[in-house]
């Protein structure tokens, strides 16, 4: 007489938790410049009302082809409480008389030409914009940039003086500080400012 017996034993195997590796990458350093007439023009420190200048935003990154940038939420302030929005939260221009939609010739470069102007009875104008930086999608050749309609032309109280009567001093570049961020999650906005100071010519 034969008997069969099945013996069973459960063994629980504990797997070690997965190890997460997070690489720290320095954030790009961004700056805002006003150049004479074109993206390659020299920096402008003194200008006249009506002169063509080029507003340029650039960010420099240690690793190429890693980040994308969008300039948005731009305002001009006369220093006395009057604040006008030039670029909205989506990165689109609101008044083509002041500044039209920006161009993005590179992943970390944006800009647009504009004429120098000033508000009536105001000697200073303060510009500030937000720059949002994101990790570039793997395999993407280009960064996604805002798709904007043509902005309207609004009536504003700007002073259009002859170039011979008013000079404008442009100054105040300020880079954004480096901030270490995780490669797997990067979506941050930095504030860049530029000041335009006007004074009456002594001629």
Does 4 fall in a domain? Answer: no
Distance of CA 65 to the CA centre of its chain: 17
Classify residue 19: in a domain, yes or no. no
pLDDT at residue 198, as a whole number: 36
Question: Across residues 144-152, what is the average pLDDT?
Answer: 91
What token pair was written down for 45? 């420190």
Degrees (nearest 5) of the Cα angle 30, 63, 134? Answer: 60
Which class for 173: exposed (0-12), middle (13-18), buried (19 or more C-beta within 10 A)?
middle
Among 64, 139, 55, smallest CA distance to 107 is for 64
As given in the structure block, the two tokens for residue 152 are: 């309207």
Considering its fold, how many domains does the chain have in total? 1
- How far is Cα 49 from Cα 166, in angstroms, rounded to an integer? 6
pTM: 0.68
Q: Where do we find the tokens 């009057």?
A: 82
Residue 171 has pLDDT above 60, yes or no: no
Instruction: Assess if residue 7 is contained within a domain.
Output: no
pLDDT value of residue 43? 86
CA distance 198 to 196: 7
The two structure tokens encoding residue 192? 């860049």
Is 8 among the domain residues? no
Q: Residue 178 belongs to a domain with what CATH number? A: 2.60.40
Question: Looking at the domain assignment, is residue 3 inside a domain?
Answer: no
List pLDDT tens digits, range 40-98.
999 887 777 888 989 999 999 988 899 999 999 998 887 777 888 999 999 999 998 88
Which residue has 């604040």 as its token pair? 83
Q: Does residue 17 form part of some domain?
A: no
For residues 172 and 47, what is the distance between their CA atoms, to the nearest angstrom?
14
Does residue 9 carry a pLDDT above 80? no
Q: Does a structural domain hold residue 47?
A: yes
Triad 122, 123, 126: Cα angle to 5°: 90
What pLDDT, on the 0 to 100 scale, is given for residue 12? 67
User: pLDDT over 90 for what percent of the chain?
Assistant: 27
**Res 8 pLDDT > 60:** yes
Provide the 8-state DSSP code for 78.
-
Quote the domain boundaries for residue 157.
24-138+148-200
Q: Is residue 2 part of a domain?
A: no
Model confidence band, residue 121 (pLDDT cutoffs 50, 70, 90): low
The pLDDT mean for the chain works out to 73
Distances (CA, A) of 101 to 67, 85, 146, 180: 21, 13, 9, 31
Q: What is the mean pLDDT of residues 141-157?
A: 81
């Amino acid at each position: 007489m034969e008997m069969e017996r099945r013996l069973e034993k459960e063994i629980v195997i504990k797997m070690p938790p997965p190890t997460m590796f997070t690489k720290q990458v320095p954030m790009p350093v961004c700056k805002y410049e006003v150049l004479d007439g074109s993206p390659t023009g020299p920096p402008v420190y003194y200008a006249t009302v009506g002169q063509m200048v080029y507003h340029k935003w650039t960010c420099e990154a240690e690793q190429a082809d890693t980040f994308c940038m969008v300039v948005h939420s731009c305002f001009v302030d006369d220093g006395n409480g009057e604040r006008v929005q030039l670029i909205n939260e989506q990165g689109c221009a609101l008044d083509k008389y002041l500044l039209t939609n920006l161009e993005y010739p590179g992943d970390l470069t944006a800009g647009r030409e504009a004429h120098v102007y000033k508000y009536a009875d105001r000697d200073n104008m303060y510009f500030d914009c937000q720059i949002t930086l994101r990790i570039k999608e793997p395999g993407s050749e280009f960064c996604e940039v805002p798709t904007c309609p043509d902005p309207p032309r609004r009536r504003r109280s700007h002073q259009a003086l002859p170039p011979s009567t008013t000079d404008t001093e442009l100054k105040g570049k300020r880079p954004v500080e480096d901030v270490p961020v995780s490669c797997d999650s990067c979506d941050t906005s930095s504030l860049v400012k530029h000041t335009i100071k006007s004074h009456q010519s002594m001629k």
